[in-house]
Each structure stands twice: as structure tokens, then as C-alpha cells.
Chains A and B, each alone.
Chain A
Amino acid sequence: MPTLNRRHFLGGSVAAAATLTSGLPKVEAAQPDLVAGLPDGVRASAVLDALPGKKPLIKLSYRPPNYETPLAYFREAITPNDAFFVRYHLAVIPDIDVKTWKIAVGGDGANGQAELTLQDLQAMPATEVVAVNQCSGNRRGLFRPHVPGVEWGYGAMGCARWKGVRLKDVLDKVGLKKDAVEVVLDGADGPVVDKTPDFIKSIPVWKAIEDTTLIAYEMNGQALPHFNGYPARLVVPGWTGTYWMKHLTSIRAQLKPEASFWMSAAYRIPLGKFPLVARFTSQDTATNTPITEMMVNSLITSHGDGAEVKADSLLGGIAWDGGYGIRTVEISSDGGKTWVAATLGSDLGRYAFRTWSFPLQVKGKQTIMARAANVIGETQTAELIPNPAGYHHNVMHSLSLTVV
């Protein structure tokens, strides 16, 4: 995969400057299919746009780039690299030269220090996991009342086969102290203004040393796309995308909880509102806690809302959760009164999208709904669970179909 010679924020500044001075001709951009329920402003501004190396995705913001994957790509369990969603908090996204790129490993919770190049990583024992990366705020745009932020529809997620080294094996190179509490991660991307808090995240040691927590340098058998974290990113199966640090440059074990903005103030959910098994207690306050594992969820992807469908054709989609595994997907053809089990597709592992299918046999116009349950008995909600930042939307997906 070629390295891209671009610094996106510079291009952005040029474009912004051009608007101010020259009144460029209006560019007609392709309009994406947008789902119902998004803010009107998304309808006015979202376009299909291709980042370098990517297929056209639904552009929500150019800079930093926030692009979601159109629904049609979720008919399969694996999301193609060039259609995988893109999410950045800060607009300085440097090119990475793998000849000079390295990860610094250390911190006061480690016994030593190390530096690892991409070659060093590739020389270590490799492991693979198929896992869903979903933005904490996926579906934020569907919250009612709306909450500010990136107004995602359904597509701020994807599932890939990730290959890399265990974070645990890298931590073993420096030796974790027994009283280390968190592992802190930083990437090469950063803010435009020095005073903007750099995007730095931490995970608890117990999650850092799980066998499936990886530093991944391959995605679906290829190098990571630039906009998905080239040359290596963290993969934290089961947990929302905020912890999956892209362009990873620093790993620090710490004796104290990370206190900077993106841990202490952002990506928090109220305590007591969501079912939580995976806990991040070193970051708890009296009222909130960091978002961790994904809620059980599903999506109907075979048809669009309002479609006319022949009887006996297959309804299909995907289901996923925080890594316990999907037990059932059920379909209702009567707006939620009665439910029938769908057939689950092949099992790519408990962190992966699970495909499902269901023959449409009842004729007529109907409201189709899907709901998934996982192996620990968690289910989707019928009503939105409000929370200030618009996280964890797992309201059952429904659409209107006419079966003829």
C-alpha cells in the first residue's frame, strides 16, 4: 500500500481560504442515501466523497475526516478496507514513513523501556482476530432529542480480520509492575492548536493483557489504510472504537489513572443506565464511568426502508455485541407483537459481525423489526437510553417493507 503524501488539514485550510476569496464554482457532489431521523442539517451537508485510497463514503465532516460506511456494505460479515468508516477527533494527520516510525514503550508502571519498529512487530509471533470496530457514538444522529457531535447514522462501524501482535507480548518486553493500573496509548495524529488536548486514551491493565488485544498491522490481509491507522493501530475487541488508537506511537504503563481530557471528561456514560460487565473502575466517578464494551445490536441490511420485496425472498443483516457472542436474532413482521427466530450465518468468532437471514413469507405492507440477544442474555432496547454524549444507541432497527 503506497504511503499517501498528504496532510489533510493543510488542504482544508486552502479550501477554506479559497471559499473566502474567490467564490469557486459550486461543486455538485453525489447525494448519499441517508436514513430517516437524522438532523436536517445532515441532509443538507452530507455527500458521498472518496478519501484517498477509499471508496465513496458518506462524508459528515471533511476536516477532521469523519466518513461513514453506507449500509449496503453490511450485507457481509467482513467490511472491505476501502469502505471501512473513518473517524478522527483532531485534524493534523501526518503521513507515516515506516522507515522512521516507531512505538515507544515504557511508563512509570513498567520496569524498562523499548522502541519497536514495524519490522520488530512483524518479527514477533503474530495472532489474528475478527472483530467489530464501532464508534461509541454510532447512530448519534438518530437520538431524539438530538445531541451535538458527529451526527452518525448506522455506519460508524465495520468488522475486519485484524493481524498483529498481542499487546501483552509487547508489554512483556518492558515488564509490567504489579501495581500498574492502566496502559496509556497515543498516536501520531494531533491537534491544530497547541492548547487542544491531544487524543490520548487508556485501558485497564486487565484488558491490555487479554489475548485478543492486539497491535494490528494488517487488516483483511492488507496493510491498514492510511485513514484507518497505518501502519499499526490498537485493536480492543468488544470495546468501542475510542480505544483503538490509530497510528500508534506510544504505549505507557501507568501507576495512576490517566487524567487528561479524553479520559476524564470525554467518552463517559452515566453509571447504572447500561448493562456493564467489562468495568474500568480506576476511571469511575460517583456518577459516570468510561464507555467500555459495545451493547448487543443488530441491523437489517438486505433492503432499504420502503422497498417492495417478492415473497420468499430473504431478509438479511448482521448482529454483534461486546464479545460474548450472539445467541439469537429474531424478526417481527407486525411491528414487534410477535417474533420468529432468524437463521444465523457462519460464526467468525465472538467479536465479529454475525450474519443472519429470514424468509419473508407474510404478504402485504408491514413493519419489519430485528432484535438480537447475546449469550449472556442481554437484548436490544425498544426505547432509546438517553445519555449526554449520545453513546450506545442499540434501539431495535425497523423498516417498512411491502411483500408481494
Chain B
Amino acid sequence: MRTLALLGLAALIATAAAAEEKPIALKPAPGLDKVEANCASCHSLDYIQMNSPFPSAAVWDAEVTKMIKVFGAPIEDGDAAAIKNYLKQNYGN
């Protein structure tokens, strides 16, 4: 969490060095705020678009769990549930 907070601060200061990453507009639906607040810290949200719409509900559950357990994403349980639900509803099969 601490790393993320520091990064957020650095990002605000470093506007002049911004790279050409374009905004990724995911489907507006409940849970999108949790996706943007958590997932986008480590990767751009085109990862979600590109991996759609083929994943089953079980695959999206496993992906979010992997991000937390394997890649150490500091996502709280409530947010994780909202993210899983959003992905299954909007980017699943």
C-alpha cells in the first residue's frame, strides 16, 4: 500500500514526463470505480479489454485471485469481490 501511495504522489508531480498512454474507457457499470482504483495502479486497463470476452466466470475469479495472491496486489476483500463481479458481468462470456 505504501508503495502505491508514494507512486500516486510521484505521478502527480511528474506530469511533464507523461508518456503517451491513452485513456482506456472500460464499460460504465457498477464496480468500474474499484477496477480503476486498484487494477490501474500496476497495469493499463487494456489488459482487460484484450482478454475479453472469452473468460468464463471461473477464469475471471482466478485472474483476480492470482493478482492478489501471486502478484501481491493490495486489494481489499470487498473491492476484490466487486472487481470480479464487474469483470464477469462486462468482460466475460
Shortest beta-carbon distance from B55 to chain A in Å: 6
Shortest beta-carbon distance from A57 to chain B in Å: 13
Taking CB atoms and an 8 Å cut-off, the chain B residues in 1-19 that contact chain A are 3-4, 7-8, 10-12, 14-15, 17-19
Central interface residue in A42, A50, A63, by most chain B CB within 10 Å: A63
Contact mask for chain B residues 43-71; partner A; CB cutoff 8 A; 1 contact, 0 none: 11111111111110001000100000011
Number of interface residues of A (CB under 8 A): 54
Contact of A41 among B17, B52, B74 (CB under 8 A): B52
* A11 and chain B: residue at smallest CB distance: B19
Q: Which residues of A contact B55 (CB under 8 A)?
A: 148
Cα–Cα distance between A20 and B51 once the two chains are bound (Å): 22
The answer to whether A41 and B91 have CB atoms under 8 Å apart is yes
Contact of A192 among B41, B48, B52, B54 (CB under 8 A): B41
A383 at the interface (CB under 8 A from B): no
Shortest beta-carbon distance from A120 to chain B in Å: 31
Q: Which residues of A contact B42 (CB under 8 A)?
A: 91, 191-193, 196
Taking CB atoms and an 8 Å cut-off, the chain A residues in 1-48 that contact chain B are 5-20, 24, 26-27, 29, 39-42, 44-47
Shortest beta-carbon distance from A155 to chain B in Å: 14
Central interface residue in A61, A64, A194, by most chain B CB within 10 Å: A61
The answer to whether A44 and B49 have CB atoms under 8 Å apart is yes
The answer to whether A145 and B70 have CB atoms under 8 Å apart is no
Q: Which residues of B contact A17 (CB under 8 A)?
A: 11-12
The answer to whether A16 and B40 have CB atoms under 8 Å apart is yes
Contact of A149 among B14, B17, B51 (CB under 8 A): B51
The answer to whether B17 and A6 have CB atoms under 8 Å apart is yes
Given contacts A7-B14, A41-B52, A148-B55, 5 further A-B pairs with CB under 8 A are A10-B19, A14-B11, A45-B46, A192-B41, A265-B70
29 contacts between A and B (CB under 8 A): A5-B17, A8-B19, A11-B14, A11-B17, A11-B19, A12-B44, A13-B41, A15-B21, A15-B23, A16-B23, A16-B24, A16-B36, A18-B23, A24-B23, A39-B50, A39-B54, A41-B49, A41-B53, A45-B49, A45-B50, A51-B20, A59-B46, A61-B44, A62-B46, A91-B42, A192-B4, A194-B72, A197-B72, A265-B70
Q: Which residues of B contact A (CB under 8 A)?
A: 3-4, 7-8, 10-12, 14-15, 17-25, 36, 40-55, 59, 63, 70-74, 91
